Amino acid sequence: MSDANLLIIDDDVELCDLVREYLAGQGFSVDAAHDGETGAAIALESRHDLIILDVMLPGIDGFEALKRLRGRINTPVLMLTARGEDIDRIVGLELGADDYLAKPCNPRELAARVRAILRRVNDPQRRQPPPSSARIVIEDVAVNVSSREAQLDGEPIALTSSEFDLLTLLLRHAGAVVERGDLFRKVLDREPDPFDRSIDMHVSHLRKKLGPRKDGTLRIKAVRSVGYLYAVDTPPAQAPED
């Protein structure tokens, strides 16, 4: 997706300039901020389609900036983490990041991740599905695919774009296992990596937001070495098409 307006928050001015130049050549408009306070303030103006947020920042760090954003806006966030720092990735996803990328990163891979996130958020087929699949209700959980809204017991649930797509996919196939590879491709728009725990962290975060079923059991169950399923007492006769 070109013509999108991006915000990069990173204290490495030279890196920001390089990223801005590369992404501008790919059709993106890029603003930059070099500390957490300033970056969060700019992000809260909601002028950007996606935010690229570094973890290590002067003033408030990326985690604190993300907390402030997630309390106010749902703009997709791609976190930049130090290579090998798994805990940073885990914390970022738990706080509501949509995806992460380890630094130093290849600008082409960064652009690919940005496009993937924007496709998930802006794909017209996701936003305007056929009427038969526009609203999915499983017990006390409901999603409206066209408006990208989710409810638990009639109350709105604040979900990131990745969490919403994950929940929608699992609900569409409630009672059946969705393989990890399909979750990566359909939720994160990339091929699975055996060392990438993104899906697992999104599932963990989604479980916390939904809580257990009314009988106290898990809503989303892991099937070892295969994938995840959304638990129901009686599986639907046929899952709607994706």
The CATH number of the domain holding residue 139 is: 1.10.10.10
Burial of 131 (0-12, 13-18, 19+ CB in 10 A): exposed
* Distance between start and end Cα atoms, the chain: 21
- Asked if 57 and 10 count as a contact pair (C-beta separation under 8 A), the reply is yes
> Do 41 and 140 fall into the same domain?
no
Q: Which residues contact 24 (CB under 8 A, 6 or more apart)?
A: 30
Output the pLDDT for position 123.
Answer: 64
> Do 79 and 178 fall into the same domain?
no
The boundaries of the domain holding residue 75 are: 5-122
Look up the pTM and report it.
Answer: 0.66
Per-residue pLDDT of the chain (242 residues; tens, 9 = 90+): 457 899 999 999 988 898 889 998 889 999 999 999 999 999 998 889 999 999 999 989 999 999 888 878 888 999 988 766 667 777 777 788 888 888 888 888 899 889 988 887 776 444 444 444 588 999 999 999 888 889 999 999 988 888 899 999 999 999 999 999 999 888 888 888 777 788 888 898 899 999 998 888 999 999 988 999 999 886 554 444 45
> Do 170 and 107 fall into the same domain?
no
Count of structural domains, the chain: 2
- Asked if 102 and 82 count as a contact pair (C-beta separation under 8 A), the reply is yes
> Do 40 and 103 fall into the same domain?
yes
Could you tell me if residue 242 is inside a domain? no
Output the pLDDT for position 50.
Answer: 94
User: Which of 74, 123, 83 has its CA nearest to residue 101?
Assistant: 83
Domain end residue (candidates: 89, 106, 122):
122
Could you tell me if residue 141 is inside a domain? yes
- Asked if 73 and 45 count as a contact pair (C-beta separation under 8 A), the reply is no
- The 10 Å CB-count burial string (b at 16+, else e) for 183-211 is bbebbbbeebeeebebbebbbebbeeebe
> Do 208 and 160 fall into the same domain?
yes
Domain end residue (candidates: 122, 156, 172):
122
> Do 103 and 155 fall into the same domain?
no
